[in-house]
C-alpha cells in the first residue's frame, strides 16, 4: 500500500525529535562545558561541542578526597543495601504469593495500608534514632530495605508461576523454602534482576535517608557530597587555585564535571539495563 | 517517603496491582470463612485439595475433619493451629519482611503520639508530659498556617493539572508512530531522566537558571533582554518545579499507558477503518475510551498524592528568598523537627498532611465510584 507522508506525520516526528532533544541536551551541554577551555565557557560560547578540549576539571574532581570517599560509601550502600533488600523482599514476596500461608490476607492488607498512611518524617526519625541507627551505615540501609512497590511486583510475578511446578517439588519432598530456592527462584531470574536494579538505582540516588540519618561526613554518600559542592557551593577554592599553570578554573565547569562524575554509572549502564526497568513496570501494570 | 525516587513516582502505577490484590482477596473469600474443618480452605484455584497433595510428606496426613466433630470453636482453633504448623516455613520466610513493616512503618504510626505530648529527646516518649491538642492549636493559629497549606496545595495542584495529562499525550503520540525503531529510541531516551537523582536534577536546574552563567540566561541575553535571576523570584518557583517534574517523569509514566494501549483489540481499529473512520475518529472513539479506566485510576492515586509532593526536590530547589511560595509543609516539618528539635510540633503538622491526603484519596475514589464503575476499592 502506498502511503504518502502527510502533514501529521511530519508534525508527529517533529514533536518526537523535540522530546529527544529536550531530554538529552542538558547532558550534552554539561559534557561540552566541562570539557571546554575556561575562556570559552566564560564567554558563553559553548553550546553543543566542547571548544579547546581538556580534562583539567576532571583531574580536580577525581582528586578531591571527598568525592573518592563518597563514591566508596555509595558503592558500599548500593552493594549491601541491594543484597539485603533482595533477600528480604524475595522471601517475603514468595510467602505472600502462597495463598495457603496462614494469615496471608491479613499480611497483605497490613502492607498495602502503609502505602496510604504512614507515621511521617519525625516519628520515623525517632524510631531510627531509638534503634541507634542514626549516623551508622545501617541507618542508610535498614529504614528503606523493603519497598512496598517492589514487594508487590515480585509477589505478582511469583503468583503467576504455575502451581503444578511447585506441587511436583512438594511430591519430591521439598520444603517450602526448598521449593522457593530450587524451583521458583531459577524461574524468576529476570524479575530478580529487575527488582535488584530498581533497588540499586534507588539507593544510588537516595538523598533523603542520608539527609535525615547521617551526621558525620565520613559516611556521606555521593548525593550529599554532590549537593554540598554544587548546591551549597562548598567548592574547595584553595585547591582550585593551586592547580598551577592557568590558575583559573571556572566554577561552572567544575560543578558540571562533578555532576557528571556522580551520574556516569547510571548514564553508561542505562541503555543496556533499560529493558529490565521497563519489564519491571510492565509486570506491575499489564497483569491487572 | 522511603526510597523516594522510585516509589513516589511509580506508586501511580500501583493501581493495577491493587486490583490484583483485591481480586485475590475475593478469590480467597470464596474458600475462606469458618468452613475450614472440612478442608475446603486448602482448595487451590485448580480445584485440587492441597491436603491430597501434601499427604505423602506429612507425618500425620491431614484427614479432612467431618462436620460431626467437636464444637465449632475448638475445631476452628485446631484448624488454625494445623494451618499455622503447616505454613511455619513460609512464615519464617516472611518474618524479616514483617519485622521491617512493624518496626519502620507501624511503630512510627504509634510514634504520632508524640504530637500530643511535649516530647523531650532525653525523657523519651513515655515520660514526656501530655499536652493534648496544644501543638495542633498552635499550628492552626500560627500566621503561617495558610501559607504552608496554600503552597503545598498549589504546588501539588499545578503538578496534577500540568503533569498528569503530559504522559497521556506523549503515549498517544508514541502510539501513532509507525516507525518501530524510532519509536523505541524515543521511548528509551524519554525514560532516562527518571533514573537521575533529584540532587542532580535540582543541580542542573539551578545551574542552567543561574543569572551569571546559566545557559537559559545566555539565551535571554542573545535576544537582547536583561538576565533574570529566576531562583529569587517567588512567582517563578511553581513553574520551575512543575517543569522539572514533567521533564523528569513524563517519559517513564507513559509506560503504563502504552501497556494499556496494547490491550485494545486491533479488530476495533480494523472495523472502524472499514467504516471509514480517520485517525482522529479512531483516537476519540477507540483509543481514548480504551484508556479511560487506566486514566481514572491513576487520577485518583494522583489526587491522593496532591499534598504528598516530593520533599527532596523542593528541599533542594528552594532558598529563603522564595520561602513565600516554595516553603511547603514537609520542608517546614523538616526545619522545625530536625532543624530546631521541636519534634512534637513537627509531628502534629505532618499528621495533618497525612490526614488530608487520606481524605482526598478517599473522596476522589467515592466520586469516581458514583460516576462510573472504576474505583480503587
Kindly indicate the confidence band of residue B307, based on its pLDDT and cuts at 50, 70 and 90: low
Window 202-221 of A, Cβ < 8 Å to B: 202-208, 211-212
The answer, yes or no, to whether residue B348 has pLDDT greater than 50, is yes
| Span of A244-258, B199-213, B352-366 with lowest mean pLDDT | A244-258
- Residue contact A176–B93, C-beta within 8 A: yes
At A2, phi and psi to the nearest 5?
-85, 130
Question: What pLDDT, on a 0 to 100 scale, did the predictor assign at position B124?
Answer: 77
Question: What pLDDT, on a 0 to 100 scale, did the predictor assign at position A167?
Answer: 86
CA distance A231 to A221: 15
Q: Give the tens place of pLDDT for each residue, B20-36.
A: 444 444 444 444 444 33
For residue A262, the chain B residues in CB contact (below 8 A) are 200
With both helix axes pointing from N to C terminus, report the angle between B288-304 and B14-31 in degrees, rounded to the nearest 10: 90
Q: Give the tens place of pLDDT for each residue, B65-122.
A: 455 555 566 788 888 888 888 888 999 999 999 999 999 999 999 888 888 888 877 7
The answer, yes or no, to whether residue B151 has pLDDT greater than 70, is yes
CA distance A165 to A184: 8
Question: What pLDDT, on a 0 to 100 scale, did the predictor assign at position B32?
Answer: 40
CA distance B247 to B253: 11
Q: Give the tens place of pLDDT for each residue, B240-253.
A: 999 999 999 999 98
| Residue in B10, B32, B125 nearest the CB of A149 | B10
Q: Give the tens place of pLDDT for each residue, B121-144.
A: 777 777 788 888 888 888 888 888
The mean of the pLDDT values for chain B is 78
- Residue contact B10–A266, C-beta within 8 A: no
Mean pLDDT within B40-50:
42
Mean pLDDT within B206-220:
85
For residue B42, the chain A residues in CB contact (below 8 A) are 100
Q: What is the largest CA-CA distance in chain A?
A: 76
Question: What pLDDT, on a 0 to 100 scale, did the predictor assign at position B70?
Answer: 54
For residue B91, the chain A residues in CB contact (below 8 A) are 95, 101-102
Residue A170 contacts B where some CB pair is shorter than 8 Å: yes
Question: What pLDDT, on a 0 to 100 scale, did the predictor assign at position A249?
Answer: 64
CA distance A43 to B212: 11
Question: What pLDDT, on a 0 to 100 scale, did the predictor assign at position B240?
Answer: 94
Residues A17, A18, A24, CA angle at the centre, nearest 5°? 90
For residue B100, the chain A residues in CB contact (below 8 A) are 88, 142, 145-146
ipTM entry: 0.88
Domain boundaries, chain A: 1-54, 55-286
Asked whether the beta carbons of A64 and A236 are under 8 A apart, the reply is yes
Nearest to A226, CA basis, from A249, A250, A251, A257: A257
For residue B195, the chain A residues in CB contact (below 8 A) are 201, 205, 266, 270, 277
Question: What pLDDT, on a 0 to 100 scale, did the predictor assign at position A18?
Answer: 94
Sign of CA dihedral B38, B44, B47, B53: negative
Window 129-158 of A, Cβ < 8 Å to B: 131, 142-153, 156
User: What residue ranges of chain A have pLDDT lower than 50?
Assistant: 1-2, 236-247, 286-288
Torsion from C-alpha of B173, B176, B178, B183, nearest 10 degrees: 30
- Residue contact B17–A87, C-beta within 8 A: no
Question: What pLDDT, on a 0 to 100 scale, did the predictor assign at position A233?
Answer: 66
CATH class in words for A55-286: mainly alpha
DSSP B134-200: HHHHHHHHSTTHHHHHHHHHHHHHHIIIIITHHHHHHHHHHHH---HHHHHHHHHHHHGGGGS-HHH
DSSP chain A: ------HHHHHHHHHHHHHHHHHHHHHHHHHHHHHS-HHHHHHT--SSS-SS---HHHHHHHH-HHHHHHHHHHHHHHHHHHHHHHHHHHHHHHHHH-TTSTTHHHHHHHHHHHHH----HHHHHHHHHHTT-TTSHHHHHGGGS--HHHHHHHHHHHHTS-HHHHHHHHHTT--HHHHIIIIIHHHTHHHHHHHHHHHHHHHHH--HHHHHH--SGGG--HHHHHIIIIIS----HHHHHTT-SS----HHHHHHHHHHHHHHHHHHHHHHHHHHHHHHHHHHHHT-
- Residue contact A205–B196, C-beta within 8 A: yes
The answer, yes or no, to whether residue B358 has pLDDT greater than 90, is no
Question: What pLDDT, on a 0 to 100 scale, did the predictor assign at position B283?
Answer: 87
Helix (H) or strand (E) holding B65: none
Question: What pLDDT, on a 0 to 100 scale, did the predictor assign at position B238?
Answer: 93
For residue A149, the chain B residues in CB contact (below 8 A) are 6-7, 10-11, 14
Question: What pLDDT, on a 0 to 100 scale, did the predictor assign at position A241?
Answer: 44
Report the phi/psi class of residue B119: left, alpha or beta, with left for phi > 0 and alpha for psi in -120 to 50.
Answer: beta
- Residue contact A207–B316, C-beta within 8 A: yes
- Residue contact A117–B354, C-beta within 8 A: yes
How close is the nearest chain A Cα to the Cα of B68, in Å?
24
Mean pLDDT within B322-348:
89
Helix (H) or strand (E) holding B362: helix B343-371
Residue B359 contacts A where some CB pair is shorter than 8 Å: no
Sorted by where each starts, the structural domains of chain B and their CATH numbers stand as 135-371 (1.10.3720.10)
DSSP state of B102: I
Amino acid at each position: 500500500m502506498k502511503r504518502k507522508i502527510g502533514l501529521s506525520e511530519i508534525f508527529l516526528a517533529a514533536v518526537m525529535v523535540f522530546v529527544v532533544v529536550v531530554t538529552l541536551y542538558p547532558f550534552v551541554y554539561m559534557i561540552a562545558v566541562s570539557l571546554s577551555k575556561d575562556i570559552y565557557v566564560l564567554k558563553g560560547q559553548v553550546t553543543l561541542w566542547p571548544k579547546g578540549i581538556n580534562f583539567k576539571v576532571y583531574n580536580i574532581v577525581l582528586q578531591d578526597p571527598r568525592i573518592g570517599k563518597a563514591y566508596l560509601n555509595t558503592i558500599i550502600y548500593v552493594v549491601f543495601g541491594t543484597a539485603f533488600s533482595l533477600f528480604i523482599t524475595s522471601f517475603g514476596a514468595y510467602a505472600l504469593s502462597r495463598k495457603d500461608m496462614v494469615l496471608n490476607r491479613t499480611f497483605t492488607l497490613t502492607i498495602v495500608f502503609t502505602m496510604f498512611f504512614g507515621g511521617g518524617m519525625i516519628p520515623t526519625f525517632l524510631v531510627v534514632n531509638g534503634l541507634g541507627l542514626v549516623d551508622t551505615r545501617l541507618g542508610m540501609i535498614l529504614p528503606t530495605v523493603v519497598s512496598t512497590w517492589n514487594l508487590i511486583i515480585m509477589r505478582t510475578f511469583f503468583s503467576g508461576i504455575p502451581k503444578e511446578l511447585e506441587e511436583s517439588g512438594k511430591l519430591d519432598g521439598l520444603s517450602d523454602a526448598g521449593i522457593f530456592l530450587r524451583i521458583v527462584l531459577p524461574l524468576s531470574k529476570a524479575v530478580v534482576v529487575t527488582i535488584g536494579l530498581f533497588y540499586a538505582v534507588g539507593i544510588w540516588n537516595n538523598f533523603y535517608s542520608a539527609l535525615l540519618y547521617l551526621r558525620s561526613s565520613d559516611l556521606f554518600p555521593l548525593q550529599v557530597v554532590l549537593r554540598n559542592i554544587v548546591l551549597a557551593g562548598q567548592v574547595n577554592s584553595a585547591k582550585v587555585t593551586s592547580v598551577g599553570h592557568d590558575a583559573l578554573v571556572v566554577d561552572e565547569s567544575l560543578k558540571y564535571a562533578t555532576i557528571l562524575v556522580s551520574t556516569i554509572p547510571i548514564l553508561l549502564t542505562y541503555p543496556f539495563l533499560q529493558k529490565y526497568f521497563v519489564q519491571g513496570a510492565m509486570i506491575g501494570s499489564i497483569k491487572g | 517517603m522511603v526510597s523516594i525516587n522510585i516509589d513516589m513516582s511509580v506508586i501511580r502505577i500501583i493501581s493495577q496491582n491493587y486490583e490484583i490484590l483485591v481480586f485475590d482477596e475475593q478469590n480467597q473469600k470464596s474458600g475462606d470463612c469458618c468452613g475450614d474443618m472440612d478442608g475446603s480452605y486448602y482448595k487451590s484455584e485448580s480445584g485440587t485439595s492441597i491436603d491430597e497433595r501434601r499427604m505423602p510428606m506429612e507425618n500425620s496426613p491431614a484427614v479432612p475433619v467431618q462436620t460431626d466433630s467437636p464444637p465449632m470453636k475448638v475445631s476452628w482453633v485446631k484448624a488454625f493451629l494445623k494451618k499455622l504448623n503447616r505454613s511455619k516455613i513460609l512464615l519464617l520466610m516472611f518474618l524479616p519482611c514483617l519485622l521491617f513493616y512493624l518496626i519502620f512503618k507501624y511503630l512510627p504510626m504509634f510514634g504520632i503520639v508524640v504530637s500530643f505530648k511535649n516530647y523531650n529527646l532525653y525523657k523519651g516518649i513515655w515520660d514526656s508530659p501530655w499536652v493534648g491538642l496544644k501543638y495542633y492549636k498552635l499550628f492552626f493559629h500560627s500566621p503561617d498556617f495558610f501559607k504552608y497549606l496554600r503552597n503545598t496545595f498549589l504546588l501539588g495542584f499545578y503538578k496534577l493539572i500540568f503533569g498528569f495529562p503530559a504522559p497521556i499525550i506523549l503515549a498517544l503520540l508514541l502510539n501513532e508512530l509507525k516507525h518501530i525503531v524510532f519509536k523505541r529510541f524515543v521511548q528509551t531516551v524519554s525514560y532516562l531522566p527518571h533514573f537521575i537523582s533529584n540532587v542532580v536534577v535540582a543541580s542542573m536546574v539551578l545551574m542552567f537558571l543561574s543569572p551569571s552563567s546559566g545557559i537559559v540566561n545566555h539565551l535571554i541575553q542573545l535576544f537582547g533582554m536583561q538576565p533574570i535571576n529566576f531562583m529569587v523570584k517567588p512567582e517563578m518557583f511553581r513553574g520551575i518545579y512543575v517543569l522539572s517534574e514533567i521533564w523528569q517523569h513524563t517519559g517513564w509514566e507513559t509506560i503504563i499507558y502504552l501497556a494499556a494501549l496494547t490491550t485494545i483489540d486491533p479488530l476495533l481499529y480494523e472495523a472502524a477503518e472499514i467504516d471509514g473512520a480517520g485517525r482522529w475518529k479512531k483516537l476519540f472513539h477507540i483509543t481514548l475510551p480504551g484508556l479511560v479506566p487506566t486514566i481514572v485510576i491513576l487520577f485518583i492515586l494522583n489526587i491522593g498524592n496532591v499534598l504528598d509532593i516530593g520533599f527532596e526536590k523542593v528541599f533542594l530547589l528552594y532558598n529563603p528568598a522564595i520561602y513565600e511560595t516554595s516553603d511547603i509543609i514537609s520542608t517546614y516539618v523538616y526545619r522545625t523537627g530536625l532543624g530546631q528539635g521541636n519534634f512534637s510540633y513537627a509531628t502534629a503538622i505532618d499528621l495533618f498532611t497525612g490526614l488530608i491526603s487520606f481524605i482526598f484519596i478517599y473522596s476522589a475514589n467515592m466520586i469516581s465510584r458514583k460516576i462510573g464503575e472504576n474505583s480503587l476499592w
